[in-house]
Amino acid sequence: MTTTPAATPTASPETIAALQGALAAEHVAVFGYGVLGAHLLGTQRQSADQMWNSHRARRDRLRAYVETAGATPVVAAPAYRLPSPVSSARTAAQLAARLEDGVTAGYAGLAGAADPALRRYAAQAMQEATVRAVRWRGSPPAAFPGLTGAELYPKEQD
């Protein structure tokens, strides 16, 4: 069950920025699933269609939340540079996993939102994205999905 946070016009600038970050990640996912779906057949294609629709629904909820908070939602770009080319079902699955990692990272900014319903919404979105990434990869996720090695292991400053 997906919960929608209660929209309040008093969202802080930080919360609006975090919502915009999650919305931007959903825009990329919607675009990417449109590209990779063309390389899938059968049950993989059906799964991709369901996931694409899930991202579209979350994108629309985020857009409405940003508007209710009195801000203008970030718009989708006409196209995105995807992290890897897609030429087969295997590369489509790899792209899908990377897109889900990006969605997880996009929602991470909402983890500190003041609104508990919004935090819950973001946590659920991150959990769903991580599960989808595992399905596409066929292996467990990284310890902290969305973070690069440099972010996990920063160099010590002298």
Confidence band for 1, pLDDT divided at 50, 70 and 90: very low
Question: Could you tell me which of 83, 105, 93, 91 has the C-alpha nearest to residue 138?
Answer: 93
Of the CA atoms within 13 Å of residue 126, those in its CB half-sphere come to 19
Distances (CA, A) of 104 to 85, 91, 123, 137, 158: 21, 20, 9, 15, 33
| 85-133 per-position pLDDT tens digit | 999 999 999 999 999 999 999 999 998 899 999 999 999 999 999 999 9
pLDDT surpasses 60 at 24: yes
| b/e code 63-72 from CB counts within 10 Å (16+ = b) | bebbeebebe
pLDDT at 9: 58
Could you give the CA distance from residue 125 to residue 55 in angstroms, rounded to a whole number? 9
Could you give the CA distance from residue 95 to residue 35 in angstroms, rounded to a whole number? 10
Could you give the CA distance from residue 99 to residue 55 in angstroms, rounded to a whole number? 11
Confidence band for 84, pLDDT divided at 50, 70 and 90: confident
Q: Are 105 and 21 in contact (CB under 8 A)?
A: no
pLDDT at 102: 95
Residue type, 111: A
| 126-137 per-position pLDDT tens digit | 999 999 999 999
Indicate the pTM of the whole model: 0.84
CATH architecture of 13-138: Up-down Bundle (1.20)
